Chains A and B, each alone.
Chain A
Amino acid sequence: MKRKILFHNLMVVATVLVATACTSTAVREDTTGSTSESAVADSVDLVMAVARTAKLHTAEYHVHKIVTHSDVKFLRTTLLGHTLDTRLSLGDRKIAIPIDVTLKAYIDFSGFNESQIERSPDGQKIHITLPDPKVVVTSSRIDYQSTKQYTDILRSDFTDEEMTYFTAQGVRSILKMVPKLGILATARQSAARTLIPLIASMGYSESDIVITFRKEFTESDLPQLIDNERSVVKF
């Protein structure tokens, strides 16, 4: 009888151990690329930061993009360094999120000084070298009415957190396209259009005013000059 009880207890212990080990190898589903712990750790503190600026916004771009994502699951088997992906027929999910983003090109005059102004000896002509232009995302908006999602019966709908995550990726991809949008040329023309009448009213003839940037940027320069900060691209 005692042996039977001992045997029964051993079986229970073994079952628990096996179950624990199996749990560690169980399917892990992470839909946003972030762990649940990091989501919990998010702060709810509300921040209000005030900054004194002197930025002349010269050009505004309204950009539209349909952010799409296809959520297909694969069983990834790694054996001795070799990886094999097998598509699982658990059901797919797809989402299309239209977003509207406003980009503004600006020139920051906070560091502008006399060394950036050159006058001809007779004082008739003036040459101004502008600070480098920058581009900032001033707003981004999800078009919820036009957002479409398709989910198979075995899958759950996309969460609000996932939608926000994809939107953020969409804005980043727009920023990567900035060099190809021609915003630099627009920023320069627009800056001249704003500043020339201002300088002309100081007594200069419009034909005697030259406005340039620090250097002649080319399209190939631009990707290397993208700022790390998400919302600001420095040319």
Chain B
Amino acid sequence: MKLQTDKSNHILSNSLLIIAALVLSALGVRRCNENREILDVEVVHSDSIDFTPVHIRSIENIGEWEFLAIADEELVDSTRHRTLGRDDRLVRIYHGTLRLGIDLRQAREGWVQAIGDSVHLQLPPVRLLSERFIDEARTRAFYESGTWDARAKEQMYYKAARQMRHRCVTPQTLQQAEDNARAELTALFQTFGFKSIGIDFDKL
């Protein structure tokens, strides 16, 4: 009987020692990992892109006066319904800057008429200067579940562009840009010494 009790005590004490050693080693590893001084093991990978060349597709001389810049963000949500299981969803926040102003390439010949200290400008209508205004590099992928093909993402891009255009290119913003064009061009021509400055815009 006594022999059996001694044996169980021995097993128990050994077990306690093993447990203590395990706990101490676990705490030790954790401490080392926190300090990152003695031992650190981790899986790493590079998240930077490779070096690749830049190709210039085209260079164009333009003459666009920008008088109003509207920075906009649009949230576009796309859902694909599934018969079985959860629906796929992709939510992206697009960033774009819509620039309103005048394109001097559309100005008629003789659009500046100067006589003495008076000048008259006949300007083309204020409009959205470029249809390409979304900066996809600044787009944020907000939520993604499931797999999405190229066509779905392109559709989202066009939807974002439509939403931005609808929100930002309004009669009010066009008028704002026109008012600012008058103010800025008046100030510019005053610096050239003109005292009387008349500005008119062509109708769309």
Q: Which A residues lie at the B interface, using CB under 8 A?
A: 3, 6-7, 10-11, 13-14, 17-18, 20-22, 24-25, 27-33, 42, 44, 46-81, 85, 88, 99-102, 104, 106, 109-110, 112-114, 116-117, 137-142, 144-145, 147, 157, 159-161, 163-171, 173-174, 177, 181, 186, 189-190, 193-194, 198-199, 201-203, 230-231
Interface centre among A56, A71, A159 (most CB of B within 10 A): A56
Q: Select which of B46, B50, B73, B110 is within 8 A of A68 by beta carbon.
A: B50
Q: In whole angstroms, how far apart are the Cα atoms of A41 and B36 in the complex?
A: 28
**Given A47-B73, A48-B71, A48-B72, CB of A186 within 8 Å of CB of B59:** yes
12 A-B pairs with CB atoms under 8 Å apart are A29-B43, A31-B47, A51-B71, A60-B62, A62-B56, A62-B58, A67-B52, A75-B43, A80-B37, A138-B133, A147-B150, A171-B137
Q: Contact between B72 and A181 (Cβ–Cβ < 8 Å)?
A: no
Q: In whole angstroms, how far apart are the Cα atoms of A14 and B24 in the complex?
A: 10
Q: Smallest Cβ distance from B164 to chain A, in angstroms?
A: 9
Q: Select which of A10, A79, A101 is within 8 A of B19 by beta carbon.
A: A10
**Given A14-B23, A58-B62, CB of A202 within 8 Å of CB of B132:** no
Q: Contact between B43 and A10 (Cβ–Cβ < 8 Å)?
A: no
Q: Contact between B73 and A57 (Cβ–Cβ < 8 Å)?
A: no
Q: Contact between A49 and B33 (Cβ–Cβ < 8 Å)?
A: no
Q: In whole angstroms, how far apart are the Cα atoms of A226 and B173 in the complex?
A: 31
Interface centre among B55, B72, B90, B141 (most CB of A within 10 A): B141
Q: Smallest Cβ distance from A210 to chain B, in angstroms?
A: 15
Q: Contact between B49 and A190 (Cβ–Cβ < 8 Å)?
A: no
Q: In whole angstroms, how far apart are the Cα atoms of A66 and B75 in the complex?
A: 27
**Nearest B residue (CB) for A47:** B73
Q: Contact between A79 and B43 (Cβ–Cβ < 8 Å)?
A: no
Q: Contact between B68 and A164 (Cβ–Cβ < 8 Å)?
A: no
Pairs A-B, 5 closest by C-beta atoms: A21-B26, A144-B150, A160-B141, A201-B112, A161-B141
How many A-B contacts if CB must be within 8 Å?
293
Q: Contact between B93 and A44 (Cβ–Cβ < 8 Å)?
A: yes
Q: Select which of A3, A50, A142 is within 8 A of B136 by beta carbon.
A: A142
Among B93-139, those with CB < 8 Å from A are 93, 96-97, 99, 104, 110, 112-114, 119, 129-130, 132-139
Q: Which B residues lie at the A interface, using CB under 8 A?
A: 8, 12, 15-16, 19, 22-23, 26-27, 29-30, 33, 36-75, 90, 92-93, 96-97, 99, 104, 110, 112-114, 119, 129-130, 132-142, 144, 147-148, 150-151, 153-154, 157, 167-168, 173, 176, 180, 184, 188, 191-192, 194
Q: In whole angstroms, how far apart are the Cα atoms of A17 and B36 in the complex?
A: 21
Q: Contact between A157 and B147 (Cβ–Cβ < 8 Å)?
A: yes
Kindly list chain A residues whose C-beta atoms are within 8 Å of the C-beta of B141. 159-161, 163-164
Q: Contact between B61 and A59 (Cβ–Cβ < 8 Å)?
A: yes
Q: Contact between B26 and A17 (Cβ–Cβ < 8 Å)?
A: yes
Kindly list chain B residues whose C-beta atoms are within 8 Å of the C-beta of A141. 132, 134, 136, 157
Q: Smallest Cβ distance from B75 to chain A, in angstroms?
A: 6
Tell me what chain A mostly uses at the interface: helix, strand, loop, or mixed: mixed
Q: In whole angstroms, how far apart are the Cα atoms of A6 and B167 in the complex?
A: 70
Q: Contact between B191 and A181 (Cβ–Cβ < 8 Å)?
A: no
Q: In whole angstroms, how far apart are the Cα atoms of A117 and B192 in the complex?
A: 8
Q: In whole angstroms, how far apart are the Cα atoms of A142 and B64 in the complex?
A: 25
Interface centre among B33, B96, B192 (most CB of A within 10 A): B192
**Nearest B residue (CB) for A14:** B19
Kindly list chain B residues whose C-beta atoms are within 8 Å of the C-beta of A10. 15-16, 19
Q: Select which of A11, A25, A65 is within 8 A of B53 by beta carbon.
A: A65
**Given A138-B97, A167-B137, CB of A57 within 8 Å of CB of B58:** no
**Nearest B residue (CB) for A145:** B150
**Nearest B residue (CB) for A68:** B50
Q: Contact between A47 and B72 (Cβ–Cβ < 8 Å)?
A: yes
**Given A65-B54, A113-B191, A139-B134, CB of A160 within 8 Å of CB of B42:** no
Q: Smallest Cβ distance from B109 to chain A, in angstroms?
A: 10
